[in-house]
Amino acid sequence: MKTIFNIITLSVIVMFSLSSCSDDTDQTATKANTESKAKTSSMDAKYVEGKNWSVLKDPIKYTLTKEQDGIIWEVFSYSCSHCNAYESDVKKWRANTPESIGFEHVPVYWNSNYAIHAQAYYTAKALKIADKGHAKMFAAIHIQRAKIGSLAQYAQFYSQFGVSEEQFINTASSFVVKGMVEKARQISLKGNVEGTPSLIVNGKYLINSKSGNRNEWLDIARFLVERDAKNQ
């Protein structure tokens, strides 16, 4: 009888011990999961929809090269002093950003008054001299106070990069340039661009211009590109 009692007692102790180990393991796992979720939530909370960006109701089509994970459009205007100041920030950011994150300048096109500026920029783009002239154009307008508004004046400016004025003007009326200008119009209008500079990511996210400082806009844009690429 005593032996049976000892066996029962031992079984209860063993069961209790196993139960305690199991509870400790569950509690540890639960704590780890809670901490992991809290960490993830904290990371996600750094940039949030509605505060840092808005989702466009009508997404804009875009194409990527095989090396790109996503694309950021900076909608700008050469006459915009904020765009001029922002250019140095963009340059530094791009120097430290993977090439897999595409970046393109898009001249703002709110109405027909902006058509000539978009046409001139994309003419330079078609002639592969837009990048060479980008910073110098800002300097010409904001430092040298040059008056550049007509197509002839743009042609004269870009002639310093080895393109004749005649070639520039002829290219400006090409089908390719017209298509680019129309794309800029679509991006400006569908992107709900109300001011420059503005950043649009993957044709569907508009960075909130009141979200942090201008440097942070680019970090938010990169976050969205990487998030989309990860979720594909």
Q: Which domain holds residue 89?
A: 53-231
The residue type at 65: T
Are residues 90 and 109 both part of a single domain? yes
Are residues 199 and 114 both part of a single domain? yes
Share of the chain above pLDDT 90, in %: 76
Are residues 32 and 75 both part of a single domain? no
Are residues 70 and 168 both part of a single domain? yes
Residue 44: the pLDDT is 56
Q: Give pTM, 2 decimals.
A: 0.80
Structure confidence by residue, pLDDT tens digits, 34-93: 443 443 344 456 899 999 999 999 999 999 999 999 999 999 999 999 999 999 999 999
The average pLDDT across 204-231 equals 92
Long-range contacts of 87-91 (CB under 8 A, 24+ apart): 87/134, 87/135, 87/138, 89/214, 89/215, 89/218, 90/218, 91/135
